[in-house]
Amino acid sequence: MAVLSEGIKRLFRRPFTVRYPKHKPKLSPRFRGKLTWDRNKCIFCFQCQMACPNNVIKIDKEKKEYFADLNKCLFCGKCQEVCPVPEKAVRLTQEFEMAKLKKEDIPERF
């Protein structure tokens, strides 16, 4: 009887999943998605490049360029954690839709 009543209750309960991509999931504020970098905030200290466990980040201080091979990113958040700038020059956004048809299209130069 308990099983039957539980089954009936579940019939009227809202699902835990969403119909993606029609409906976007509600992400946690701590969700770690696509990396972004702000040239105007960066002090070119190389902390993020050194902390990255997968050699994703390459910085060219002379050209003021930032290259992140997102194919290799683990979304661990270390780069953001070590960035000494209070407003974080590098941070992980809530963006998770990064699929591309070609692998070469994924690496990003800022």
Interaction between residue 90 and ligand SF4 (CB under 6 A): yes
> What's the rounded Cα separation, in Å, for the pair 109 and 70?
10
Instruction: Select the span of 5-13, 23-31, 75-83, 100-108 touching ligand SF4 (CB under 6 A).
Output: 75-83
Residue count at the site for ligand SF4 (CB under 6 A)? 30
From 15, 6, 25, 16, select the one nearest 97 (Cα to Cα).
25
C-alpha–C-alpha distance, residues 81 and 104, integer Å: 28
Q: State the burial class of residue 23 (Cβ atoms within 10 Å of its Cβ: 0-12, 13-18, 19+).
A: exposed
Shortest approach of ligand SF4 to residue 91 CB, angstroms? Answer: 9
CA angle, residues 14, 4, 19, in degrees to nearest 5: 20
User: Of 4-12, 13-21, 45-53, 96-104, which part binds ligand SF4 (CB under 6 A)?
Assistant: 45-53
Q: Which of 65, 75, 94, 105 binds ligand SF4 (CB under 6 A)?
A: 75
Q: Which residues contact ligand SF4 by CB under 6 A?
A: 35, 37, 42-48, 51-54, 56-57, 59, 68, 73-79, 82-83, 85, 89-90, 92
